[in-house]
Structure formats: structure tokens, C-alpha cells
Amino acid sequence: MVDTTKNTKLFTSYGVTTSKAINPDMAAKMISKAKRPLLVVGTGVLRPEILDRAVKIAKKANIPIAATGSSLNGFLDKDVDAKYINVHQLGFYLTDPAWPGLDGKGNYDTIIVLEFKKYYINQVLSGTRNFSKVKSISIGKDYVQNATMSFGTISREEHFVALDELIDLL
């Protein structure tokens, strides 16, 4: 029989492009490959189990943290390089090659996003996706369509395990 199912590519776009769903190993590989990575965390990171893991990621991979929303308080005594910035503002600055970054050393090539309401980070990332070359990797528990790559939607418990696996692989 002729395989009539093999090419279902749409002739035009309906809705949005979706991100590539990835496992922790792929996320770890992308993070390790990045030249100027930035860990972007939302206020949800203050949940103790997540905060602990975010700190481990930052330390193990030696990544600075953009502590957005009201999340900075969680990092002040954690011996990590965390700075506050509004995430909407950050999304805009990421699209500007001239942005000196949070440390004055220039813009970033990869952002890793964690613990936002999905609708919010998704909207912010629609800007970076369409108007910059920055790669975004979502390692939260919700699938984020506008990221370049993202974990799928998983339960809280699965999420903890996935982050632990990711940390091990860094």
C-alpha cells in the first residue's frame, strides 16, 4: 500500500510552533554546551524542594541566576550569583545584542527557565523566540510551547526526580 500518511507537514501555520519536548539528559547537554547560559527563575522557585534544586543547578553548572518576580529573597544566603530583574524586561533585553547582561559581560545565548506560571513565561518567550537567537530551555513541570526545548507536563513528584536527574548529569 502507498503510505499516504508520511507527509503531514502543514502548508501554512495554524496557531503556534511548539517546542521540542526533551528529557533531563538532553537538557543537561544543552546547558553544558551553552557559552553564556542564564538560569531564569520565577517566584514559584521559593517552594523549598525547588529552591534547593535550583541552587544545585546554578552551582554545579556554574550559571548565574536571573531571580525574577519576587524570588531573589530565596537566593541571598545561598552563595550563588543571583540578581533581580523583571522577567518581561529581561525578555526584551535578551532581544538586544547590545545588552550588557546582568554582569556587564554581554548578552546570553541560552536561558534555562524554571517555575513560572506557564502562561506568563510562554508569553515572554514568544518575544525571544520570534525576535532573537537566544535558545530557551524550560525545565519546569509544565510544557512551555514557546521555549526552544521544554520538559512536557509532568507531576510535581516526577518533576523533582527529573531535576535530580538533570543535576546528576551536569
Partner 1 sequence: MSNLTTGSFSIEDLESVQITINNIVGAAKEAADEKAKDLGPLGPSTWPGLATYRDDWNLKLLARYEPVITPMCDQCCYCTYGPCDLSNNKRGACGIDMLGHNGREFFLRVITGTACHAAHGRHLLDHLIEVFGEDLPLKLGQSDVLTPNITITTGQRPMTLGEIKPAMEFTEEQLTQLLATVHAGQESAEIDYDSKALFSGSLDHVGMEISDIVQIAALDFPKADPEAPLIEMGVGTIDKEKPFLCVIGHNVGGVTYMMDYMEEHDLTDKMELGGLCCTAIDLTRYKEADRRAPYTKVIGSMSQELKIIRTGLPDVIVVDEQCVRGDIVPEAQKLGIPVIASNAKIMYGLPSRDDQDVDATIEELKSGAIPGAVILDYDKLGEIAVRLTQVMHPIRQAAGFRTIASDEQMKEWVDKCADCGSCYLVCPEELEIPEAMKHAKEGDYSYLVDLHDQCIGCRRCEQVCKKEIPILSVIEKASQKVIAEEKGWMRAGRGQVSDAEIRSEGLNLVMGTTPGIIAIIGCPNYGDGAKSVYYIAEEFLKRNYIVVGTGCGSMDMGMYKDENGQTLYERFPGGFQSGGLVNIGSCVSNAHITGAAQKVAAIFGGRTMGGNLAEIADYVLNRVGACGLAWGAFSQKAASIGTGCNIYGIPAVLGPHSSKYRRALIAKNYDDEKWKVYDARNGEEMAIPPAPEFLLITAETWQEAIPMMAKACIRPSDNSMGRSIKLTHWMELHAKYIGGMPDDWWKFIRTEADLPLAKRADLMKKLEEEKGWEIDWKRKKIISGPKIKFDVSAQPTNLKRLCKEA
3-class secondary structure, 130: helix
53 close to 164: Cβ distance less than 8 angstroms: yes
Total length of the chain:
170
- DSSP single-letter state for residue 114: E
Interaction pattern, residues 37-66, with partner 1; x per rule: CB under 8 A: -----xx-----------------------
Encoded amino acid at 160, one letter? F
Q: How far is the CB of 17 from partner 1 (least distance, A)?
A: 6
75 close to 52: Cβ distance less than 8 angstroms: no
Q: Binding partner 1 by CB under 8 A: which of 2, 3, 8, 14?
A: 14
Q: Which residues are near partner 1 by CB under 8 A?
A: 12-17, 42-43, 68-70, 72-73, 75-76, 83-84, 86-89, 91-93, 96, 98-100, 116-120, 123-124, 126-127, 129-131, 142, 153
